[in-house]
A and B are shown apart, each in its own frame.
Chain A
Amino acid sequence: MSMKRRDFLKITSYGIAGTFLSLTGGVIVGRGSELLKKMDTSSSEKVKWAMVINTRAFQTEEDFNSVILACHRAHNVPDIPDKIREVKWIWKDTFVRGFPTAETKYIGDEIKKRPFLLLCNHCDNPPCVRVCPVKATFKRKDGIVMQDMHRCIGCKFCMAACPYGARNYNFYPPREYLRSVNPEFPTRSLGVVEKCIFCYHRLDEGLVPYCVEASKGKIFFGNLLDENSEVRKVIAENIILVRKPELGTNPKVFYII
């Protein structure tokens, strides 16, 4: 098959023209999305709740227990003896387990042994919300990652998605393991997933979460979008860690080291 010179030139020039057209199109699309971003005012939420835990201030067993108990009692969290199937909204763990990617061999003994309070990070980009098939877990406008226990079908997909082990499945009938009952808050039933809800019910009524209240100043809580808020101040002034930042989940629980 041979091609005439004339045809060859024709096809080549079409090709060149086509390339330029596509480039122009690409530039328009690229610029366009930038412009759209500038015009976008929908992300004008005013509140984004965040928590800063001063790990240096937590010294004694009592410091931890008072915080954990305040939360667990108020929310009727069952006390399950089977440790690999327990339910916990906020708990104590080591640096190595909580921050496995930040750990190196030569880190100081004090840090290695220092217990950390772990809880749901209320990620800005939460994988659990992405995977939930029924919107039982969703992000509120103020950034709280909510859990609707009425809706949860117990598929446990969110627990596979959460890189922080912050979610709990009710492997046991929770009511049988309650030590005390708070009549102001519901319990859960078998077969649903639950977790820390950043005390949304208290925030909506103008109160701070139970753990913050019980910590007596060792945990800071506030609005991340407010430049003058206390949380922004302590984040700026201290050395701060978040758990597994490399995963792009953008945790909103910060740790002062």
Chain B
Amino acid sequence: MVEKALRGGVWYWLWLLLLVSFIGLAFYFWLQEHHHGAGMLTGLHRDLTWGFHIGQLAFFVGVAASAVMIVLPYYFHNYKEFGKITVLAEFLAVGAVIIAMLSVFVVMGQPTRVLYVILNPTPNSLIFWDLTVLSTYLFLNLLCGWMVLHSEYKGTKYPSWLKPFIYWAILWGPSIHIVTAFLLQGLPGRHYWLTAIMAPRFLASAFSAGPALLIVIALLLKKIANFNVGDKAIQTISKIVIYAFIINLLFLFFEVFTAFYSGIHSHMAPFLYLFFGYEGHREWVPVMWASMILGIVGLVLLLIPSLRRSETTLTLGAISIFLSVWIEKGVALMVGGFTPNVFETVTPYKPTIPEIMIATGVWSLGLLIITVLYKITLSVYESKNLAVKTRG
């Protein structure tokens, strides 16, 4: 099956070349950072030690976890419409897990010591658990996606021994995101994160942003690769997106209510800083309101059935929701957690160009893996269609 990734048109190879060059560029900046120090190249500082990259961890673990929203109806409830898109969702999860894990790796000050995490297993640290569940999830999705596709290729049903692994992957999806939320929500003195609703909110935002991305990908594949996952599947996913997004907005409202009705200053401060500015610092105010506006646009576009059914407005809505959640979770979550800092003052953070370039390289590597896996998937389905046609 692998050989199918080696045959492609000019655009396929150009796209891969573009991704590889981004990876190369990121590698250069990463080397620079480890040569000159994070102080020279990144915006991180004493009071904000987890920035843009760890934000990508939180966000892309969510994207990976959201595969469960497609896989679960298909395997548990035998929802046949999701047949084609399930493999896409599983392979998207593979790429997203790789992005998430690499995002942590690139911020490590001593990358050569990465194996210490395994050599000195520390169950009281959630990074240990995060590494364990993420690598397990990566393996499970690769295994399930590949085996199912392979049986499709052979024209058989997937082997029965795979069933436990599929169920395991379904259970594991939410787990990886809960553990990632636990990384943050158990830290004393970080008021924005110290909330029991962090894990449920992570799940809600993941189950909206992840499937929203899948909608965009599916519609894109329909356009450029003539691969149709089925309109009914896309419509069902768009409903999943909108329900999850409404729950996500509700959770945000609960947070705001608790902080502001209780009137505890330290709990209000991060919200004030992000949405209105704090002690004269307003760096993130426009970004936060952009996220809010995008969220409302997405809400309207996906809530109204007629707009949801039109592919143009559906795409726009899905992109808006994806971006809205990305800003809120992939960027502002870290900023809000560290600002105001432990001294209850503001030390502003702005990601630098090298930081963003390294992140671009990480995304590119994930996209590269997703592209190759999708190429194989599409080719398998294509050859199957051809076989059906020739047989008449």
Residues on A facing B (Cβ under 8 Å): 80, 82, 84-86, 93, 96-98, 100-101, 127, 130-136, 151-157, 159-165, 168-173, 190-193, 244, 247-249
Majority SS at the chain A contact face: loop
Q: Mark B289-306, 1 if CB is under 8 A from A, else 0.
A: 000000000000000000
Give min CB distance, A78 to chain B, whole Å. Answer: 11
Question: A124 CA to B177 CA in the complex, in Å?
Answer: 30
Please tell me if the beta carbons of A153 and B124 are within 8 angstroms of each other in the complex. no
Please tell me if the beta carbons of A154 and B109 are within 8 angstroms of each other in the complex. yes
Asked if B350 is at the interface (CB within 8 A of a chain A CB), the reply is: no
B45's closest neighbor in chain A, by CB? A84
Q: Mark B113-136, 1 if CB is under 8 A from A, else 0.
A: 110110010101111100100000
Asked whether A131 and B187 contact (CB < 8 A) given A165-B343, A171-B39, the answer is: yes
The 27 listed contacts between A and B (C-beta, < 8 Å) are A84-B47, A96-B344, A101-B266, A127-B187, A132-B122, A133-B128, A134-B120, A135-B120, A151-B120, A152-B113, A156-B49, A156-B107, A157-B127, A159-B46, A159-B49, A161-B188, A162-B189, A163-B342, A164-B342, A165-B46, A165-B341, A171-B37, A171-B45, A191-B34, A192-B109, A193-B109, A248-B188
Asked if B50 is at the interface (CB within 8 A of a chain A CB), the reply is: yes
Asked if B234 is at the interface (CB within 8 A of a chain A CB), the reply is: no
Please tell me if the beta carbons of B337 and A160 are within 8 angstroms of each other in the complex. yes
| Residues in B whose Cβ lies below 8 Å from that of A93 | 343
| Residues in A whose Cβ lies below 8 Å from that of B126 | 131
| Residues in B whose Cβ lies below 8 Å from that of A173 | 36-37
Please tell me if the beta carbons of A244 and B45 are within 8 angstroms of each other in the complex. no
B128-178 CB contacts (< 8 Å) to partner A: 128, 131
Please tell me if the beta carbons of A160 and B187 are within 8 angstroms of each other in the complex. yes
Please tell me if the beta carbons of A165 and B38 are within 8 angstroms of each other in the complex. no
B328-354 CB contacts (< 8 Å) to partner A: 337-338, 341-345, 347
Asked if B44 is at the interface (CB within 8 A of a chain A CB), the reply is: yes
Asked whether A132 and B38 contact (CB < 8 A) given A98-B343, A100-B344, A171-B45, the answer is: no
Asked if B196 is at the interface (CB within 8 A of a chain A CB), the reply is: no
Please tell me if the beta carbons of B343 and A154 are within 8 angstroms of each other in the complex. no
Please tell me if the beta carbons of A100 and B343 are within 8 angstroms of each other in the complex. yes
Question: A164 CA to B282 CA in the complex, in Å?
Answer: 25
| Residues in A whose Cβ lies below 8 Å from that of B108 | 153-155, 191
Asked if B240 is at the interface (CB within 8 A of a chain A CB), the reply is: no
Please tell me if the beta carbons of A165 and B109 are within 8 angstroms of each other in the complex. no
| Residues in B whose Cβ lies below 8 Å from that of A170 | 37, 109
Asked whether A82 and B39 contact (CB < 8 A) given A153-B117, A160-B49, the answer is: yes
Give min CB distance, B216 to chain A, whole Å. Answer: 32
Asked if B262 is at the interface (CB within 8 A of a chain A CB), the reply is: no
Please tell me if the beta carbons of A85 and B39 are within 8 angstroms of each other in the complex. yes
Question: A162 CA to B47 CA in the complex, in Å?
Answer: 10
| Residues in A whose Cβ lies below 8 Å from that of B124 | 130-131
Asked if B369 is at the interface (CB within 8 A of a chain A CB), the reply is: no
Give min CB distance, A30 to chain B, whole Å. Answer: 25
Give min CB distance, B37 to chain A, whole Å. Answer: 5
Please tell me if the beta carbons of B39 and A160 are within 8 angstroms of each other in the complex. no
